[in-house]
Amino acid sequence: MNEEEKSPESTAGDDSASQSETHKDDIGDELNRLAESFGEAVRAAWNSEQRHQLETDLNRGLRSLVDNVESILKQFDESEQGQELKEQAGKVVEKVRTSQVTAELKEGVTKGLQTVAQELQEFTQDLEKKRADQPKQDDAAQDIPVEKADGEDVA
């Protein structure tokens, strides 16, 4: 059908199809512009003087906090109460090491880890078996003959 023979319906259909393509292009272009603008805004914020100042202030404040905590811990460690707490903590640790509860807990955790390891190994073996059973797609693609337009096979 040539241009003169087209019905008004087909012309309207062509127009709506081209408008649809134009709208798709417009949406894609707008999304690209939005992404670029967002990227520029993030870069500008990251490189701003305010962000650098905030980072400097945070580093300074955290360093001060760490220094103060270390100082307090050192003073406590050197105090009589700190020494007593160390001794008590050492006794508790020793009791935990030698207690029956600890031995049972260790045994339970060990059995649990062994079970998890065994299940993971079985899963891995099943997965490897499934992969081995499936034909490789690369090999299958190489076995497909391709014919030229004049009927000749191309390997």
Residue 130 phi/psi, 5° resolution?
-65, -40
Residue 146 phi/psi, 5° resolution?
-115, 130
Band (pLDDT 50/70/90 cuts) for residue 119 is very high
Q: What is the pLDDT of residues 63-114, one digit of tens each?
A: 999 999 999 999 988 999 989 999 999 998 888 778 877 788 889 999 999 9
Q: How far is CA 146 from CA 43, 106, 122, 126, in A?
A: 51, 64, 42, 36
* 34-42, long-range: CB < 8 A, 24+ apart: none
Least confident piece of the model among 13-17, 22-26, 32-36, 131-135: 13-17
- pLDDT value at residue 96: 76
Asked whether residue 10 carries a pLDDT value surpassing 90, the answer given is no
> Across all residues in the chain, what is the average pLDDT?
80
